Amino acid sequence: MEWLLNIIYYVVPFLFLLGVLVFVHEFGHFIVARLTGVQVSAFSIGFGKELWGRVDKKGTRWKISAIPLGGYCQFLGDADASSSTTDEQTASLSEEEKKRAFPYQNPFKKLAIVLAGPGFNYLFAILIYTALFATLGTFTFPPIVGEAIPEGAAAQAGIMKGDRILTINGQEIADFSEISREVAMAADHQVDIDVRRGDEVLNFKFPLTEISMEQSDGTSVKQYMLGIKSVTTIESGYERVSLTRAFVLAVNETWDVTVTTLRGVGQMLTGKRGGEDVGGVIRIAEMTGDISKSQGWLDFIVFMALLSINLGLINLFPIPVLDGGNVVIYLLEIISGREMNERAKEYLFRFGLSLLVALMIFATWNDVVHLFDRWFNT
């Protein structure tokens, strides 16, 4: 019976979440292609064997495929779903068909279609945040230490109850929720914290310590933490906001998530942070299941917005095969005024695919190690 509950809590929510985000991303490509007169040959949720499909009045085949770990939007004239190569039969298309074939479009139109996928992921997240802020309003929890756990790193360093945290590693802290984000971003698990105690501003530099956190399934995971708890009072209370203000807050939240993610990537590239935080679909499924099992629908929706931002951002990385790789190519074509050589494109996309596969293997290995630690090192 437990396996059935795990399917309900982990597999079903994960597939729903991934399906929604993939649909949003590919629909961005689809709608801009339609608006610019490009023929969409296929719109698929999933890869591999087709399980269900139908053709609409404009010739697009909508389908659900067997492997539900992604999707694609394929255009007339493409030899593959990534628009990285041109179909050899494209030259035999009629002049009318060539007007609707992706390879024959100018680079500005191609750029708009490619950017629409990540753009819709960002727009989706902004709409989620806007709806939440407009309906639920905002709460402000002050970054004040309500309790410093005796065995925690903060207490050992001298941080006390009542201290107001001003900065962590140079980043200003305005809300208690920002503390965990900055602690997670701490390179080498070291923190430099400024706090206000009365009229004094004190500085503390110390390493974080691992604290065992119990999960909803009874297992525990060790995490580097400060070891502090928040005060239970809300500083400014519940604040209703207008739709315009909610949108502004949503854009700011989306921007903050993007900046935080890029900071983490930058730390990995410069060697300040290890690669153990790189996760793949297994980690996403695990996190989705944990939220579904022990938290509410609101947390699930917020997590969906967070993943939508990350999906959009990752696709903008300048790696051939990803949307960002195509963006670089089309920008180069716009600047040079001529189309890139097909052979050069092919080599670039082969390199990009190899890099992407390597990253997926690395992420999957991290996921497996993380699950092993969670299940057996409790």
Tell me the catalytic residues: 26
Q: What is the DSSP string of 106-138?
A: -HHHHHHHHHHHHHHHHHHHHHHHHHHHHHH-B
Compute the Cα dihedral for 5, 9, 10, 11 and give only its sign. positive
DSSP per-residue string spanning 171-190 = EE--STHHHHHHHHT-GGGE
- Residue 8 structure tokens: 């309900």
Residue 66 CB partners (closer than 8 Å, separation 6+): 46, 47, 48, 49, 50, 51
CB atoms closer than 10 angstroms to residue 92 = 8
Phi, psi of 78 (to 5 degrees): -85, 140
Q: What is the residue type of 218?
A: G
Q: Which residues of 302-336 are buried (b: 16+ CB within 10 A; e: fewer)?
A: bbbbbbbbbbbbbbbeebbbbbbbbbebbeebeee
Contacts of 297 (CB under 8 A, 6+ apart): none
Nearest by Cα to 145 from 192, 195, 189, 183: 195
Q: Kindly report the CA angle at 53 between 49 and 55, in degrees rounded to 5?
A: 135
Burial of 377 (0-12, 13-18, 19+ CB in 10 A): exposed
Give the burial string for 65-81 (b: 16+ CB within 10 Å, else e).
Answer: beebebbbbbbbbbeeb
